[in-house]
Amino acid sequence: MKLTIIGTGYVGLISGACFADIGHKVICVDVDQGKIERLRSGEVPIYEPGLEEIIKKNVKAKRLTFSSDVSGAIKSGAAIMICVGTPSRPDGSVDLKYIYQVAKEIGQNIDGHKIIVQKSTVPPGTAKEIENIIRSEIKKRETKINFDIVSNPEFLKEGNAVSDFKKPDRIVVGVESADSEDVMKRLYAPFMRTGYRVIFMDVPSAELAKYAANAMLATRISFMNMIAQVAEKVGADIDNIRAGIGSDSRIGKHFLFAGLGYGGSCFPKDVKGMIDMGKKLGCDVGILEEVEKTNKLQRKRFLKKITNYFGEDLSGLTFAVWGLAFKPETDDLREAPSIDIIKWLLEKGARVRVFDPQAMENFKKEISDNTNIFYAKDEYEVVKRSDAILVLTEWMQFRDPDWKEVYALMSGCEPAVFDGRNLYDPKTLEESGFKYFCFGK
């Protein structure tokens, strides 16, 4: 099946590569000519385990190509998949200008029956607006062309996206005709043969399903961070609480970890979008407002732990940071706690040493040149002569370091570890000579 992917960001690039890997002929198109040239030369602009290998394999097999010719790509694909960004506006509403621009270009260039697949995360009703824009552009051309609109939101987890695509929990498809359902069944035929769940529904339900999923997961995270506050006050252990409630089959064990809260490209944007959507519809979205509030406050609570120990003036102190990305196995810094925390440390007069296995170059773009930031080559070099370690991303290589070596490299008679991801056993750290601070213990 010939498939056109419009947008080579995170969703578009992974979707395009993985669709090609299951046998479809895919063209990924983007208006950024420089990005297309880099992709053609074999440079993958994002880090995602397994993605580079899949791209190289399918480019070599001529199932995957890259182009900046939007018009030609629209005409060549039997299905056109919209995978452009939907960022948040300052007020939390979803900015759909890129979606609508693509819809306009489709209407101007479509030359026969197509299936238009909306894959970006958008509020319910967006598919209908896309349809109206396309029809308006077709009408201007004084012609008649039929097309179908489909909603097919992605549920890919950064750091595990390739595996998620190949072994999905579910594939949600919103359709409005039997013809479009048949096309989508053909597109996802390999998954249907292997027993994965392809769930067909109406288009608005599919649009809302993505928001509902991310809002639910974000709520679980903020809920556990709220429980962690109570646990600290009453002398309880959040890990014991997590084990106690996670064993309940109605609750499950996933997304029950206390820590710095959620970040990334999806949860913050989609929670804000859901709040804005609900308010405009006259719905009570107080639960989600509290979810967002708790998430923002969690970073402040982490910083409070630092000033409670060192005082408000951090001049002369050096902090080693383990992890910059918002989560492991990605180089993504969108809404990452590291940015706010490191800026705050610098404002307080501290020196900062940082290390992340993948996100260092992206971090340099986020933070202007500062002589008080040192970029280390590994997790041991970064702790040299530091007064405290801040654990901000739970990369595997941070989970079981040689604490004797770490202690020897640090300065001071009682260095501190501020664990923003609750990775370590307090007793182990304290026996190794560290002052240890985390959430919910």
The residues assigned a catalytic role are 266
d(C-alpha 285, C-alpha 279), whole Å: 7
Q: Which tokens belong to 156?
A: 């890919």
Beta-carbon contacts of residue 272 (< 8 Å; ≥ 6 apart): 88, 92, 93, 292
Largest interatomic CA distance in the chain: 80
Name the phi and psi angles at 311, rounded to 5. 95, 170
H-run or E-run covering 417: strand 416-419
Beta-carbon contacts of residue 49 (< 8 Å; ≥ 6 apart): 159, 160, 162, 329
d(C-alpha 215, C-alpha 115), whole Å: 29
d(C-alpha 430, C-alpha 440), whole Å: 17
Strand, coil or helix: what is 349?
coil
Beta-carbon contacts of residue 218 (< 8 Å; ≥ 6 apart): 262, 267, 270, 271, 288, 291, 295
d(C-alpha 211, C-alpha 273), whole Å: 8
Cα distances (Å, whole numbers) of residue 350 to 302, 315, 320, 324, 427: 16, 5, 11, 17, 28
Task: Tell me the one-letter amino acid at 214.
Answer: N
* CB-based contact 327:159 (threshold 8 Å): yes
Q: Which tokens belong to 391?
A: 């654990």
Cite the beta strand spans of 290-332 per DSSP E. Answer: 318-322
Q: Report the candidate in 391, 346, 409, 411 with the shortest Cα–Cα distance to residue 372.
A: 346
Strand, coil or helix: what is 7?
coil
